Amino acid sequence: MASDSDYDIFDYNSSQDPFDIDYQIDRFELRQYLKLKKSKEKLKKSSCPISLKALKSQPKLVKVNCMNDKITRQAEQKSFRSDRFLKKSTIFECDEKFHVKSTILSNPLSTYLSKQSIDVQSNVSSSSSKIFEVEHFQSFSNFRRHFYRINHRKIKSSLQDHPSIDMTDIRLAPINESVQKDFMKRLNENTSYFPDLVYHGTKLNNIESILRYGFLIPNQVHPSNSKAPTIVSANGQAFGSGIYSSHSAVYSLSYVNATNTLLGCAAIPKRDNVGKIERSHGNILVLSHVSQIIPLFLIDFKYLDTLNMNYPCFNEVKQSKIYNKNKIKKLVIISRKYLRKVLKYMNDEVRKNNRYQVRSFEFFN
């Protein structure tokens, strides 16, 4: 047995056998190596789920089931807690007003089927007579309620074709009573066909005028309301004079200016003997009389991207104040007593100025 003096090179002095120490160190390193090997085997997944015997007997399975080592697997996306639950559908103002269940058509197939099922713009008079009842002609509120219950899914899915727009609310348009009466009179005269759902985009300042006087035809006086102004066409008249609207809400967005509100309207287009709509050019529908169309709903939306700027939605109270300020003020009649005082003051000022006259003298050599 070697003494401790033979191991002076070490930093420690021990009475234990050095060979025993080396043996314990080797055993420790071996255990660490086995632990590391087991952990690697657990992490490493088998590239082939089939046993080796089956692979040797059927070599074709090797190509199908074995994974290439060069190809790396893509990491699977985590499922967040918010994705596990169904998203709650937004409740619009008209849904609460008319007691309609709010629905979101996220699936494009369901959107297409809903458009087909709610399409009431058919050319057969019998199909429209089933939709209309006597109570729908009694008042404008009954007609608007019935119109929304039929077309509410179509309105909610109207902006889904635009990828960067989200519909925030559908409100009732506060239309003037005189405009309501003119439209209901026209509706009672045309009961064979259900009115069409159309959209109209315009400036923020024009919405107040539309709700007060209805839609106006450019360069024409209103047939029943003498207070209605005469407007000038802003976007041209490619298909003649009339009121322009569209069956597509996305198409009408191009005419919206300085606001995030779109008008949802009911239109009664003129038809021929067969039942075909006249003055219809693709998505564009032109109406020849002011009583053929009426705004029913205010469709509010917002842009989700940074390319388009979001503007305020139409506010009835705020816009009415602005409208009243822009009205032409009446002429103020001043009494003679005040006019005499003003004239007297002006004459006194003239006399004061004339009291000190500037005189020029010419000096001769």
The answer as to whether 185 is a domain residue is: yes
Identify whether 216 is part of a domain: yes
**207: in domain:** yes
Tell me if 148 is assigned to some domain: no
Three-state DSSP string of the chain: CCCHHHHCCCCCCCCCCHHHHHHHHHHHHHHHHHHHHHHHHHHCCCCCCCCHHHHHHCCHHHHHHCCCCCCCCCCCCCCCHHHHCCCCCCCCHHHHHHCCCCCCCCCHHHHHHHHHHCCCCCCCHHHHHHHCCHHHHCCHHHHHHHHHHHHHHHHHCCCCCCCCEEEEEEEECCCCHHHHHHHHHHHHHCCCCCCEEEEECCEHHHHHHHHHHCCCCCCCCCCCCCCCCCCCCCCCCCCCCCEEEECCHHHHHHHCECCCEEEEEEECCCECCCCCECCEECCEEEECCHHHEEEEEEEEEEECCCCCCCCCCCCHHHHHHHHHHCCCCCCCCCCHHHHHHHHHHHHHHHHHHHHCCCCCCCCCC
User: Residue 109 has what pLDDT?
Assistant: 44
Can you give the pLDDT at residue 152? Answer: 93
Give pLDDT, residue 126: 37
Residue 318 belongs to some domain of the structure: yes
Q: What is the rounded average pLDDT for all residues in the chain?
A: 77
Residues of the chain with pLDDT > 70, as a percent, come to 65
- Spatial CA neighbour of 30 closest among 22, 40, 19, 41: 22
Q: Domain residues for 228?
A: 159-325
Q: Assess if residue 282 is contained within a domain.
A: yes
40, part of any domain = no
CA distance 122 to 275: 9
7 contact partners, CB below 8 Å, separation of at least 6: 13, 18
Answer yes or no: is 42 within a domain: no
Question: ∠ at Cα 249 (224, 216), nearest 5°?
Answer: 15
Identify the segments of the chain with pLDDT beneath 50.
1, 10, 69, 82, 84-86, 106-130
What CATH number is attached to the domain comprising 226?
3.90.228.10
pLDDT value at position 122?
Answer: 39
Say what the pLDDT of residue 91 is: 85
Q: Count structural domains, the chain.
A: 1
